[in-house]
Amino acid sequence: MKKRYVTLLSLVCLLMFSMQVGFAAETPAKLPNVKILATGGTIAGSGASSTTTVGYTAAVFPVDALINGVPELKQVANVSGEQISQIASENMTNQVWLKLAKRVNELLASDDVDGIVVTHGTDTIEETAYFLNLVVKSNKPVVIVGAMRPPTAMSADGAMNLYNSVILAGSKEARGKGVMVCMNDAINGAREVTKTNTALLDTFRAPELGYLGYMQAGKAHFYKESTRKHTTKSEFDVRNLTDLPQVDIVYEHANVSRVAVDAFVAAGAKGIVCAGVGDGSLANPVKDALVDAQKQGIAIVRSSRTGNGIVARNGEANDDALHFSASDTLNPQKARILLMLALTKTNDPAEIQRIFWEY
């Protein structure tokens, strides 16, 4: 009797085990749906030879060529592509930004899209990333990717950058982290990332505040996240905008004059960011010109050409008295983007400063 019972129990266990194995074999894990939006850049570039890493043509290959160039993408996600633009990113415009932002929000509103990768030139990738960080209305991952070598070059970096970015965009760990830049196995946050070298593969860094994490062996590893508002917590919305306020940057140096500020004012700037020396210090000619501009209702933000550290309010200028704002830790090109979006909602200096403390 006992023997028969043990035999029956073993048969039941064997049956359950084989069902589990069979079930697992029949239903592979569902791959995420990742949309690739292409804008141009070196990642789509073409050089004369395999040793051409400068002097190539950016923005040549279409999005489908980028996808077909990395067949491994099919193993990690269901990918499809759209061509938003085909430009070298030094030529990025407000119109491309608005088209891209509207399409990103439209796609992410669909349950069929789990994440988005934007392929982009490296020269202004940090700006597009921060702009999207402030206007994307979803917690789903948005990853911006580029390359420092064209796909025609030996040891080109674009393919692995794209592979990692698609994995990151399809990963649950990346949800709610804000817009990211994923290159050279590093994950950077949109607010702090900046291009630190003209040519090296590891050019994208957040010099003092560091990476959010790494990509390794096909997996995202996070160690930090942004402390500032972004995406679903952002008050900015461009879905109904057809253009953006003109904001310019004046770059300070020894013996600087007021000419550039006066020219921006004459050209109709709604805001001016000063890439000041040191802690956002203003040379007298520039300060006089900015005071005149502010009196005409132009918003003024003091940033720093140093690229790192806090620009202290009321430090090197009496912002309270002059009705200026301090950029906190945003470098001039990032401060320009935040001021541009702030001006879609307010021109009040106190409100603008609040925005720079929060984003």
- Residue 234 CB neighbours (<10 A): 18
Whole-angstrom distance, CA of residue 168 vs CA of residue 359: 23
According to the binding rule CB under 6 A, does residue 231 interact with ligand DAS? no
User: Does 194 engage in binding with ligand DAS (CB under 6 A)?
Assistant: no
26, 170, 258 from 261: Cα distances, Å: 67, 45, 6
**By CB under 6 A, is residue 225 in contact with ligand DAS?**
no
Q: Of 2-10, 117-125, 264-272, 327-335, which segment contacts ligand DAS by CB under 6 A?
A: 117-125
List b or e across 305-343, with b for residues whose CB sees 16 or more CB atoms inside 10 angstroms. beeeeebebeebbebeebbbbbbbbbbbbbbbbbbbbbb
Q: Which is nearer to ligand DAS, 123 or 316 (CB)?
A: 123
Q: How far is CA 332 from CA 16, 233, 241, 335, 336, in A?
A: 63, 23, 24, 5, 6
Minimum CB distance to ligand DAS smaller for 62 or for 315: 62
58 binds ligand DAS (CB under 6 A): yes
DSSP character at residue 325: E
Applying the rule CB under 6 A, the residues between 70 and 99 that interact with ligand DAS are 88-90
Q: Is 34 helix (H, G, I), strand (E, B) or coil?
A: strand
Q: Looking at 7, 39, 42, 203, which residue is catalytic? A: 42
Q: What's the closest the beta carbon of residue 56 comes to ligand DAS, in angstroms? A: 8
Interaction between residue 41 and ligand DAS (CB under 6 A): yes
Binding piece for ligand DAS, criterion CB under 6 A, among 96-104, 115-123, 260-268, 336-344: 115-123
Per the structure block, which two tokens stand in for 106? Answer: 């439209």
Q: Has 52 been annotated as catalytic?
A: no
Binding mask 141-170 for ligand DAS (x = CB under 6 A): -----x------------------------
Which residue from 32, 47, 81, 121 is in contact with ligand DAS, where contact means CB under 6 A? 121
**CA 333, CA 126: separation in Å to the nearest integer?**
9
**Rule CB under 6 A: which residues touch ligand DAS?**
41-42, 58, 88-90, 121-123, 146
- Catalytic residues, by residue number, are 42
